[in-house]
Amino acid sequence: IDSDTSNVNNPTWTYTEQGVYTVTLVVNPNTVCADSSSTVFDVFVAPEPIFTPPPAMCGSVPVTLTAEGVFGPTTSFQWELGGAVPPNATGGQVTAEFAANGAHTVTLTATENECVGTYTADVIVYPQPDALFSVFPIGPQLVGVPVAFTDGSATYGGTVATYEWMI
């Protein structure tokens, strides 16, 4: 436990370790007019919560988020779920559904011993594409004649990352 002494009338001190500290003020020390007063107080480390957002996903899918990081057993958690259902939740683990496309900012707030820590990350939802294509020439086809397959997938503002044709 760290400590120091001071002879100024209004000192400041920054505690570098968690613990229970006793602070004593002695006025007019070593005189017949001396007096003292003491108090005991706790110093805590602020919680440092984090969570791992899921990989980017397509469409509305339930997602479970779990509080991780540095915090004690009496920590309470508040989640702001950025447009999900439900929009807010409490507890170390929550499940929410992100229906709208885009980046949803999620904030986790951890509170312990009146100390607060927060962490923010995005949950990314892409629109679910509809796979569509056209064929030319339109059947029936002759053996040895090239057939063209043209992607016409609807992406609804998203993009197609990869294609796999089974021909």
Which residues on adjacent β-strands are paired with residue 125?
Answer: 57, 102
pLDDT tens-place string over residues 25-51: 999 999 999 999 999 989 998 999 999
Look up residue 87 and give its two tokens: 């929009």
d(Cα 103, Cα 133) in Å, to the nearest integer? Answer: 29
pLDDT tens-place string over residues 110-152: 999 999 999 999 999 988 888 999 999 887 888 998 999 999 9
pLDDT at position 118: 98
Q: Is 161 left (phi over 0), alpha (psi -120 to 50) or beta?
A: alpha
What is the residue type of 10?
N
Collapsed DSSP state (helix, strand, coil) of residue 54: coil
Closest listed residue to residue 45, CA positions, set 111, 89, 93:
111
Please name the residue that has the structure tokens 């017949």. Answer: 32
Per the model's pLDDT, the better-predicted residue between 121 and 1 turns out to be: 121
pLDDT tens-place string over residues 47-67: 999 999 999 888 888 999 999
* Residue 122 and residue 53 in contact, taking contact as beta carbons nearer than 8 Å: yes
d(Cα 147, Cα 132) in Å, to the nearest integer? Answer: 16
pLDDT at position 2: 62
What is the residue type of 119?
Y
pLDDT at position 112: 95
Q: Check the CA dihedral 126-127-130-133 and report its sign.
A: negative
